[in-house]
A and B are shown apart, each in its own frame.
Chain A
């Protein structure tokens, strides 16, 4: 039996396609289906040429194939509006759902901070927060694991070309979801998130600034060490994750200035925001697969 978990990707847009390209290189997850709602969509056609089965009738169209094709994990890259139903239908069939939308019905997952705990608990729905959250929350956590953080603020700057219509129509979801996760996963008592879209040409690399206000005077050496260790953790799945400046200390303020370069799979390298989401989502599924292979967790039972 192959150790690889078989997967379905829902949503053949930028995220879904980039995820598919990364997954084809994975040792732990095998892409089997790509699901869309428009038979004419470029994304579905592209997936078909990449040797993936495609379905243009939404999640309902693949339900009958889930058991037959031994689908164990699903990635939802559609929208917050349809995610809950997608998740319910697939969870019922014992499929673990990795949520790349801002729906956040399951717990937030930021791999280097709390993925291990989710995998051990066999969470059936985990939410990948937002691109800005994936890029910054590890830094907030790197400070909060050293000492108490009263306030964490992140500013994500992304190129206009890398921000799709879904995010644009519902930009409040980004700020709310990210701020919530800065608190819940990052460990800051209060969180704030800001997103800036920049149209410069050539497009700028994704940039992120993280400010933490510590309760007591910051322990500079311990925080610096913790930050560098955390950067190395993120680099394991996003090699282009880089600390450009900092940590800078100013009174109780600790600031980190990051840049995220993507692998350039589907969108060019500037779209690090896309990359860090798909890489984190894939890393999450891989961790589940590793735990299954190790016998630490068992996948939901399935009769034949």
Chain B
């Protein structure tokens, strides 16, 4: 593979997807410290939001230690070069949240829908574009739809005003060939000025390999998280991706040693548990299940005595999508009843 001379914008997820792994309990102090260190290391874009996006604070997904306003208000004024993005899932967050984020200085909004339901994003993408934000359409669980369907849905988002489209492997299910196929299809179908992005999870250890395939097929933005702090087995570990891209001669603008230090000295000590491909995280990738279900399934296992792996496999079989965390306790109760 030859990526020599290409350049790519990396987008850190540790303070948003990482909120899942931290049960949304990252302190404002930690947020600011990590964001400043990443800013210093040259990270161009940093996402700061509840794990489930703006307005995600809930019984269903978890109440965070602080509000989105508090996190964004603390981090954004401290940034020297990095821009800050926020995630919004229609059905959870609303245009009101979007306006709040814009007022606090969020420059990039990522409007996320299940990969076949892009038309619920019209309200939010239209408004973001009207407010002159860098507007990303984020198609989640992209392994669940054909390349043709992904293209069709991406075109809807572009029609509403998105200037960048993400193919999002929320389950960490995809293998590099699938990434190549889907990104190539998007690249072929969308106008050249529309950027493409890829968001990976490391549940099958494919985070770095998939990101390389994505860049080769035309992605200009790649998500990952420093030290891999994210849902499931984490996101593509950015310091690793940086090192690989350095070796391949692909430009990121990030200082490798500095980002390695952020991973080792700041983020790893914050972890509640080692982010690794344990049996349940591997099951997410293998069965194609939304990565943030991991800790909920493990909690249900403890409470109801049903194996987390069995719960996750059943959730995959039922075709659950992102946001259906409430199914986990419900299913565990039903499975426990069936066992008598």
Residues in B neighbouring A174, C-beta threshold 8 A: 91
- Bound together, the chains give a CA A197 to CA B140 distance in angstroms of 13
Evaluate contact between A200 and B318: CB separation under 8 angstroms.
yes
Evaluate contact between B329 and A200: CB separation under 8 angstroms.
no
Given A165-B119, A197-B91; A248-B321 close (CB under 8 Å): no
Q: Within 8 Å of chain A (Cβ to Cβ): is B114?
A: yes
The contact size tier of chain B is 20 to 34
Contact of B90 among A172, A201, A211 (CB under 8 A): A172
How many of chain A's residues have a CB under 8 angstroms from any CB in B? Answer: 35
Contact of B122 among A169, A192, A197 (CB under 8 A): A169
Evaluate contact between A194 and B114: CB separation under 8 angstroms.
no
Evaluate contact between A194 and B319: CB separation under 8 angstroms.
no
Evaluate contact between A171 and B333: CB separation under 8 angstroms.
no
Q: Within 8 Å of chain B (Cβ to Cβ): is A91?
A: no
Given A171-B120, A207-B327; A253-B333 close (CB under 8 Å): no
Q: Within 8 Å of chain A (Cβ to Cβ): is B323?
A: yes
Given A192-B58, A244-B334, A245-B333; A157-B92 close (CB under 8 Å): no
Shortest B256–chain A CB gap in Å is 40
Q: Within 8 Å of chain A (Cβ to Cβ): is B94?
A: yes
Shortest B243–chain A CB gap in Å is 38
- Bound together, the chains give a CA A165 to CA B156 distance in angstroms of 13
Evaluate contact between A245 and B321: CB separation under 8 angstroms.
no
- Bound together, the chains give a CA A175 to CA B116 distance in angstroms of 20
- Bound together, the chains give a CA A172 to CA B93 distance in angstroms of 8
- Bound together, the chains give a CA A196 to CA B58 distance in angstroms of 14
Evaluate contact between A257 and B324: CB separation under 8 angstroms.
no
Q: Within 8 Å of chain B (Cβ to Cβ): is A101?
A: no
Evaluate contact between A213 and B116: CB separation under 8 angstroms.
no
Q: Within 8 Å of chain B (Cβ to Cβ): is A170?
A: yes
- Bound together, the chains give a CA A66 to CA B305 distance in angstroms of 62
Evaluate contact between A199 and B326: CB separation under 8 angstroms.
no
- Bound together, the chains give a CA A67 to CA B94 distance in angstroms of 43
Evaluate contact between A194 and B330: CB separation under 8 angstroms.
no
Residues in B neighbouring A170, C-beta threshold 8 A: 123
Given A155-B326, A245-B334, A248-B333; A196-B91 close (CB under 8 Å): yes
A-contact 0/1 string along B25-57, CB 8 Å cutoff: 000000000000000000000000000000000
Given A171-B91, A172-B90; A197-B333 close (CB under 8 Å): no
Given A198-B321, A209-B326, A211-B60; A169-B119 close (CB under 8 Å): yes
Residues in A neighbouring B114, C-beta threshold 8 A: 197-199
- Residue on A with the closest CB to B126? A169
Known pairs A175-B91, A201-B319, A257-B329; list 19 more (Cβ under 8 Å): A155-B60, A155-B326, A157-B327, A165-B119, A168-B119, A171-B91, A172-B94, A172-B95, A196-B321, A197-B120, A198-B320, A207-B327, A207-B330, A213-B59, A244-B334, A245-B334, A245-B337, A246-B333, A257-B333
Identify the A interface with B (CB < 8 A): 151, 153, 155, 157, 160, 165, 168-172, 174-176, 192, 194-201, 204, 207, 209, 211, 213, 244-246, 248, 253, 255, 257
Query: 14 A-B contacts, Cβ less than 8 Å apart?
Result: A153-B58, A157-B326, A160-B116, A169-B119, A172-B96, A172-B123, A192-B58, A194-B323, A199-B321, A200-B320, A209-B60, A245-B333, A246-B333, A255-B59
